[in-house]
Amino acid sequence: MEIPVIRNVLEANDKMAAQLRGLFAARGILVLNLISSPGAGKTSLLERTLTDLAPEFRMAVIEGDLQTDNDARRVAASGAQAVQINTEGGCHLDGNMVMQALGALNLDGVDILFIENVGNLVCPVEFDCGEDAKVALLSVTEGDDKPEKYPLLFNLAQAMVLNKVDLLPYVDFDVQRAEKFATMANENLGVFEVSCRTGEGLEGWYNWLRARRAAKKPA
């Protein structure tokens, strides 16, 4: 009973995502969809990135949460444009929500649009939001078995940010094991070991962003 329903929803979403993709392509905006468990550090990564790369790029953020506008307020403190979507119980963002959110953003001159999805390692993965790439975040406190247990995200993502490496001395987390399963799911996955708390390792992530941004230069 459930499967055909989900297919219809996904098909409808794919059409909306294609519209979004065309809209972003026409403006030459690089769009990244950040997906992780709750608390892996998506907002913290954005706070760092929006601040550190502000001299290089104009950036905007769509924040997805069940409720509250805490995260939009956090990222807006960097000076970037931010809009909050409250899903009111919904477990993922979809193309319709992103299209609605665009009405509240001025896209003129925007180089990079970040979509911070609802904290959830499962449901957001299947809902295309018109992004150029999905970025998976994983934190070392979640356990090194997560890429093995949730492979679809790592299969579909183009980068994995392994966050909270400053906590490695205090947890039982085998970085090699996690990265082995993540890259088994996707051998082209870019992997960046960082701490958004200390700033360690962020330059590799920034270089990946710069390269993706350069490849997307508008016509």
| From 20-28, 34-42, 185-193, 207-215, span contacting a copy of itself (CB under 8 A) | 34-42
Beta carbons within 10 angstroms of residue 203's beta carbon? 12
Q: Which is nearer to a copy of itself, 112 or 139 (CB)?
A: 139
Q: Give min distance, CB of 68 to a copy of itself, in A.
A: 5
Q: Which is nearer to a copy of itself, 23 or 167 (CB)?
A: 167
- Judge contact between 29 and 110, C-beta under 8 A: yes
Q: Give min distance, CB of 201 to a copy of itself, in A.
A: 17
Residue 193 as a binder of a copy of itself (CB under 8 A): the answer is: no
Q: What radius of gyration, in Å, describes the C-alpha atoms of the chain?
A: 17
Q: Which is nearer to a copy of itself, 19 or 67 (CB)?
A: 67
Instruction: Indicate if the alpha-carbon torsion angle 46, 33, 20, 85 is positive or negative.
Output: negative
Q: Which is nearer to a copy of itself, 52 or 148 (CB)?
A: 148
* Torsion on CA atoms 117, 50, 156, 41, rounded to nearest 10: -60
Of 83, 130, 76, 129, which Cα lies nearest the Cα of 104? 83
Q: By CB under 8 A, name the one of 123, 133, 175, 184 that touches a copy of itself.
A: 123
Q: Which is nearer to a copy of itself, 40 or 50 (CB)?
A: 40
Instruction: Indicate if the alpha-carbon torsion angle 150, 152, 154, 157 is positive or negative.
Output: negative
Residues 99-118 that bind a copy of itself (CB under 8 A): 118
> Alpha-carbon distance 53 to 46, whole Å?
10
Residue 65 as a binder of a copy of itself (CB under 8 A): the answer is: yes
Q: Which is nearer to a copy of itself, 145 or 203 (CB)?
A: 145
Q: By CB under 8 A, name the one of 164, 179, 208, 213 that touches a copy of itself.
A: 164
Instruction: Looking at 92-216, list the stretches that DSSP marks H as alpha helix, in order from N- to C-terminal side.
Output: 95-102, 146-149, 151-156, 175-185, 202-215
- Judge contact between 142 and 41, C-beta under 8 A: no
Residues paired with 30 in a beta bridge: 112
Residue 47 as a binder of a copy of itself (CB under 8 A): the answer is: no
Residues that bind a copy of itself (CB under 8 A): 1-2, 5, 8-9, 12, 37-39, 65-68, 70, 89-91, 118-123, 126, 139, 141-143, 145-146, 148-152, 164, 166-167, 170-172, 197
